[in-house]
Amino acid sequence: MNKELLLTAGIHLLVAIVILGFILFVVMYMIWGLRRIMGFMQVRIGPNRLGWQGLLQTPADALKLLQKEDVIPKGADRWLFTIAPIIVFVPAYMVYVVMPFGDGLIAKDLNIGILYVSAITSIAVIGIVIAGWASNNKWSLLGAFRAAAQLVAYEVPMILALCVPVIFAGSLRMGGIIEAQEGGWFTNWFIFRGYGIPALAFLIYMAAGLAEVNHIPFDIMEAESELVAGFNVEYSGMKFALFFLEEFAAAFTICAIAVTLFFGGWHAPFPFLGENLTGIAKMAVSLFWFLAKTAVFVFVLMWIRATWPRVRVDQLMNFGWKVMIPMGLFILLAAGTVVTLGWVKL
């Protein structure tokens, strides 16, 4: 009995370490990819010296950050200042519990998967507010205020948009939502079904998701040109690295959730591309499709980052309250109507 308990704990610990390693790896190469892609779009080259095509640049930067002096400003609330990066990072890590990487590659397929994701990801903003407050710096505090206002404006449309695939699938479970998009062909993905309602939901989800992870058109909480760096002005060394890690891990999460809910999760676009396999081969192929689809969205995020300007605070709030929430309510109503009247084959 005791041995079994120990074994279970060991396996869970192993899974946790594997996921942490996966996050670190993905974030490192997302940062590298961001620098390269943005460089290419700005007709530059980007980092290409250290390692083949600059692949070792980010690990080297991470090592450098580890060695940096850990500055805690005078007048800062030491305790809050120290735990803020942890409060920000841990939720971004915890989301990966329900991340369906592939067929059977899910740490815990919770029956409230989507609810868990949206609940956990909004904890991060508490860490951001704490960081802004504890820094004892006016830029940080302004960034924190903006973060709080932004969260209130964007959490609602995001959850309204998330409800649409849930209604279509009839399940909050990640696995259940992916099963509902089964069938082999990409036409079974939610984005191509339901008279375009999920497509609209997807757009709202992505817009709200960009706001949620402080991505470019909505990164008013760290707006470099106005607030220096927003809530993380005073952070340096490893604490700053944790904020950075969280930002990219959350961006990956947004893309992965979008893939899961609207683009068929780990299903291949065509049946002959690995739908008929079983066992380990199926796992590997489904992992490949999940990562490939997510990579496309990560690229789009970087593309957006290299292109669009930042919106003003009042524009952001107007857009959130006056456009996104009414649209979210509308698509929720439409999805409910369509499903209740049986107009879509489920």
Partner 1 sequence: MRKNRSLFYEIIYTFISLAKGMAVTFVNMWRKKVTLMYPEKRWELPDNYRGIPTLPTDPATGKDKCLACGSCARVCPEQIITIEHEVGEDKKRRLKEFKIDVSRCMFCGLCTEACPTKGLAMSHHYELTSFTKEEMVYNLEKLHELGGQFPAEPEPENTGEDSDKQDEKAVGGEK
Q: Which residues pair with 102 in a beta bridge?
A: 105
3 state DSSP class of 102: strand
Using CB under 8 A, pick the residue from 8, 111, 276, 307 that binds partner 1.
307
**295 contributes a contact to partner 1 by CB under 8 A:** no
- In the numeric block, the tokens 């796992």 are attached to 283
Identify which range of 38-46, 163-171, 175-183, 241-249 contacts partner 1 by CB under 8 A: 38-46
Q: Report which of 263, 260, 251 is spatially closest to residue 212, judged by C-alpha positions.
A: 251
**44 contributes a contact to partner 1 by CB under 8 A:** yes
In the complex, what is the shortest distance from the CB of residue 48 to partner 1, in angstroms, rounded to a whole number?
A: 8
**303 contributes a contact to partner 1 by CB under 8 A:** yes
3 state DSSP class of 105: strand
The residue (of 8 and 307) whose beta carbon lies closer to partner 1 is 307
Identify which range of 116-124, 193-201, 239-247, 305-313 contacts partner 1 by CB under 8 A: 305-313
Identify which range of 35-43, 93-101, 152-160, 167-175 contacts partner 1 by CB under 8 A: 35-43
Of all helices (H) and strands (E), which one includes residue 298? helix 279-307
Using CB under 8 A, pick the residue from 10, 13, 17, 40 that binds partner 1.
40
Using CB under 8 A, pick the residue from 149, 304, 313, 338 that binds partner 1.
304
The count of other CB atoms within 10 Å of the CB of residue 251 is: 26
The residue (of 37 and 166) whose beta carbon lies closer to partner 1 is 37
In the complex, what is the shortest distance from the CB of residue 315 to partner 1, in angstroms, rounded to a whole number?
A: 11
**50 contributes a contact to partner 1 by CB under 8 A:** no
What contacts 24+ positions apart, CB below 8 Å, involve 15-21?
A: 15/107, 16/107, 19/93, 19/96, 19/97, 19/99, 19/107, 20/93
**45 contributes a contact to partner 1 by CB under 8 A:** yes
In the complex, what is the shortest distance from the CB of residue 267 to partner 1, in angstroms, rounded to a whole number?
A: 27
DSSP string, 195-227: GGHHHHHHHHHHHHHHHHTT-GGG-TTT-HHHH
Using CB under 8 A, pick the residue from 2, 4, 5, 43 that binds partner 1.
43
Using CB under 8 A, pick the residue from 37, 117, 177, 324 that binds partner 1.
37
In the complex, what is the shortest distance from the CB of residue 321 to partner 1, in angstroms, rounded to a whole number?
A: 16
In the complex, what is the shortest distance from the CB of residue 324 to partner 1, in angstroms, rounded to a whole number?
A: 13
Q: Report which of 181, 183, 187, 153 is spatially closest to residue 165, judged by C-alpha positions.
A: 181
Identify which range of 190-198, 237-245, 302-310, 326-334 contacts partner 1 by CB under 8 A: 302-310
**3 torsion bin: left (phi>0), alpha (psi -120 to 50), beta (else):** alpha
Q: State the Cα–Cα distance between residues 103 and 110, nearest whole angstrom.
A: 15
* Cβ atoms of 294 and 260 closer than 8 Å: no
Residue numbers of the site for partner 1 (CB under 8 A)?
Answer: 37, 40-45, 303-304, 306-308
